Every structure is written in structure tokens, then in C-alpha cells.
Amino acid sequence: MKRKALEYLSEWKDRSNRKPLLVRGARQVGKTFLVRDFASKHFDNLIELNLELHPEKADLFASKDMEEILRMLALDSNAQIRPGNTLLFIDEIQRKPEVIALLRYFYELKPELHVIAAGSLLEFTLSDHDFSMPVGRVEYLFLGPLDFNEFLEALGEDRFLSFLRSCEPNDRIPSSIHQSLLRLLKRYCIVGGMPSAVREFRNGDDYKLAHMEQQSILRTYQDDFAKYRKKIHFRRLQTVFTCIPNLVGEKLKYVNIDRNERAKDLADCIEMLEMARVIYRVKHSSGNGVPLEAESDRKSFKPLFLDVGLMSAALGLNPLEISLADDLLPLFNGAIAEQFAGQQLLYRRRPYNLPELHYWRREKRGASAEIDYLIAHGSRIVPIEIKAGKTGSLKSLHVFVAEKGSGFAVRFNMDQPTKASIRPSIQTENQTPYTLISLPLYMIGETSRFIDFSD
């Protein structure tokens, strides 16, 4: 499976001022596979240490002398370390956090050696240990599940991927191609982007195999919760985890999780799941300018699950029912469509950027409005609406555009692409027309290109 992050890793490899790279992401999103694939394409040899399987190997870094460390690593691995030709990969580095602090010395004393570390649950490690992080001495790469474009490539549907990359906003897509892409979109919503689930589906063309893998991943996450017993109530954390897939697309209210629990206790569980990167907060932002985070409200948020396929599995949805539905699961009020879109938009930027996403909501009696997602593109704030079917009201878009003076908006649905100039249909002082690009959901990977196209 080719990951887009490979392109960034290639750039990192050739930079003269590169730093040791720390790959971050939830369990089983493919961090180890990514690094091994990168090593096989760009290096003569790979020296890999897994500190979860072999925690004793942390002793190889005990010396304060860099040449001695390299000598011990070479001896242990029975391989030569040749800077420029060797990649040193320290996997599951969170198990020995003192090694994280030592990464700075590779940058300071041996910058010509390529060093990558990877870990899950790093936020827990960093919050539990009192050591100096190598600030300014390491770089980060954030990895999520495969996006839809990567999914197409993994299934060998390169022709459709090439087609999407060549489309323009006003292009009319032949009906047969449109329907084929919609079927692939629904397939992604069933299988999702977790590499092992994609692999099982690709190898057997069987939703059952992918579903078994998804259930295994979900159980693995829940088994991990037992490790946090000293920090938080284990059963409460499980309850929150199982409730989140039902709450995607809604402003989170703790009473909808468990009305018998204190809001603070549930908020602590949300915090833990966010640190594990299995959920994300889509935070409310006033949307007046960039950065969106400057006007965000951490307490007012909509939850987003890690992966749409895992979400479908957690909800117990029938794959056949999804595949036969005309729209993207309207019986679930578009939550699947919103999860799909949010998952793609969350990782739309370069992989060194911390994944973040926002929404906008105006709460006035009789005049409420909500924009599903806000993204920043350069200096521009772009409102994005998600519709599970072909049609839907634009009232909230009209409100946002009129209030913020935005001249551009994007709507994703199941229909053909269109581009139009629209005047807000609400009573407001600002009646300036704005440009609305409507795109089928399967084109969401081209969002940035289409925004540039509108300039």
C-alpha cells in the first residue's frame, strides 16, 4: 500500500538540515509498515529496534558517547552503520521514554545519520515522565488511516485515481463512471482505511474478512484501556469509547453518553481517547480569520472517530445494507458521510502539520445555523457542508457567508460537480453573491486543488 507520506519522507531524507523524525499516530494505522517500505526504497540497510518487544535494547543508548552508541547498535544488529546508506528505526519508542530525550544527540552529534522513531500513545508517555523533550531537535510526522485516494490505489483502481486528479469543477462525469466511483466510496465506508482491514479485503474481496479485522482492532483498543486503570475508571472509559461512534456529527453533550456520570469524569475519558488518537475534537471556531484555532472553543466540539470503517463496525451496521443504499446511509442522518469527510479533511495538509479540524455554529432561538466543517486555505476560511444525499438546504451556508463576508464555499454530496454564483437567500445587509462548488464526496481528496482553481 503506497502512502502519501512516502513522498514527504523522501523529501526529509534529502534535506541537509533534517532532524530525527518521530512518526505519531494511533495504533495500527501503519507506522511501522510505512518506515519499512521507505527504508526498502531508499536505503541499503535498515537497523530496526522494537522497544515493546525488546525493552532491554534501550540499554544500547546508555553511553554518552555517540560513537560508542553506534558501535553497540552495529554489534547488536550484526550490521554496518553507514550514514547516508543506513536508516536507524526505533519502533514503539514510548515504552522507553528516556530514548526520546536522547534523539537530540543524533541531531547534534551525528546529523548525517537518518533516524526515525515511531510510537503510539506518546501523549501518555510525555505526560507521565519528567524529562526534557528535544524541542527543536526532532521533527514530527502525523499518520492516520489510508484516505480514499490511497484506498483506490491499494485496490488497484489507479485509473479512477488518475481521473479524479484530472477533473475540474465544471466537468460532467459520465454516469457509468460516477456510479462506479460511488460504489467505491461506499466500499471505503465499509472497509475504512485501517491498513490491515484494507489488506484483508483486497486479498479476499470479502467484507467479512475486513469486518473480522476491524473487530480485532476495536478489541485491541479496549484491551489497551486496562493499562490506564491507575489514571481513570476503566469501565467508564470503555463506555465513552463505545458511545462516540453514535455521536459523530453532533455537538457533544455528556448527558448523551451517560446521564448518571459527572461531566468532568466523562470529559477526562474524552481527553484520554483523544490522547490515544482514536477520537478527535472538531472544535467550534468563530471563523473570523486564520488561524482558526485562535478562536476555537475546546469545550464546544463534535467528536470524530478514528476511521469510518471502524465506526461502521462499532455501530454494528450491515455491510450489505450500506452497499445497497442509494445514498450514504441516510437512515443514520448522514453521520457516516460526515465521518468520512472529516477523516479526509483532518489529514488534508502536509503530514508535519498537527491534524485539526473546526466547525461553526450559531445558536439563536429560531435562527440557529451550523457549518459542518471550516478549513483554512492560505488566508482564506472555507466553509464546507456535507450532505449524504444529492440535495440539501443551503441555509446555514447563506448565514455564514453573509455574516463573515466569505466569497467561497464548498458542498460535498452524491451528485455531479457544479460551480455556481449564488446570492444569499436570507434577509441580511450582505447580499453579495458567493461562489459555491458542489462536488461528489469521492472528490474530497481534491479539495485544495479545487479551492486553488477558484482563484
Any idea which of 7-11, 95-99, 114-118 has the lowest mean pLDDT? 95-99
Cβ-count burial of 227 within 10 angstroms (0-12 exposed, 13-18 middle, 19+ buried)? exposed
With 90 as the cut, is the pLDDT of residue 50 above it?
Answer: yes
Q: Provide, rounded to the nearest whole percent, the portion of the chain with pLDDT above 70.
A: 92
- Alpha carbon 327 to its chain centroid, in Å, reads 24
Do the beta carbons of residue 247 and residue 238 sit within 8 Å? Answer: no
Cβ-count burial of 285 within 10 angstroms (0-12 exposed, 13-18 middle, 19+ buried)? buried
- All three cell numbers of 366: 429560531
Q: What domains does the chain contain, in order, with CATH numbers?
A: 5-142 (3.40.50.300), 148-454 (no CATH)
pLDDT digits (tens, 9 = 90+) for 182-202: 999 999 999 999 999 999 999
Of the two residues 329 and 65, the one the predictor is more confident about is 65
HSE-CB for 92 with a 13 A CA cutoff: 14
HSE-CB for 267 with a 13 A CA cutoff: 8
Three-state SS annotation for 392-449: CCCHHHHHHHHHHCCCEEEEEECCCCEEEEECCCCCCCCCCCEEEEEEEHHHHHHHHH
**Torsions phi, psi for 421 (to 5 deg):** -100, 125
Cis amide leading into 291 (omega within 30): yes
Q: Which residue has the cell 460537480?
A: 417
With 80 as the cut, is the pLDDT of residue 180 above it?
Answer: yes
With 80 as the cut, is the pLDDT of residue 320 above it?
Answer: no
Picking from 210, 207, 186, the residue whose alpha carbon sits closest to that of residue 197 is: 210
Instruction: Find the distance separating the first CA and the last CA of the chain, reported in whole Å.
Output: 34
The amino acid present at 15, given as its one-letter code, is R
Any idea which of 139-143, 377-381, 420-424 has the lowest mean pLDDT? 420-424
Residues 6+ apart with CB under 8 A from 207: 190, 191, 201, 319, 320
Question: Could you tell me the pTM of the whole model?
Answer: 0.92
**Torsions phi, psi for 383 (to 5 deg):** -80, 140
- 256-269 mean pLDDT: 93
- 322-342 mean pLDDT: 75
With 70 as the cut, is the pLDDT of residue 391 above it?
Answer: no
Cβ-count burial of 25 within 10 angstroms (0-12 exposed, 13-18 middle, 19+ buried)? buried
- All three cell numbers of 351: 503530514
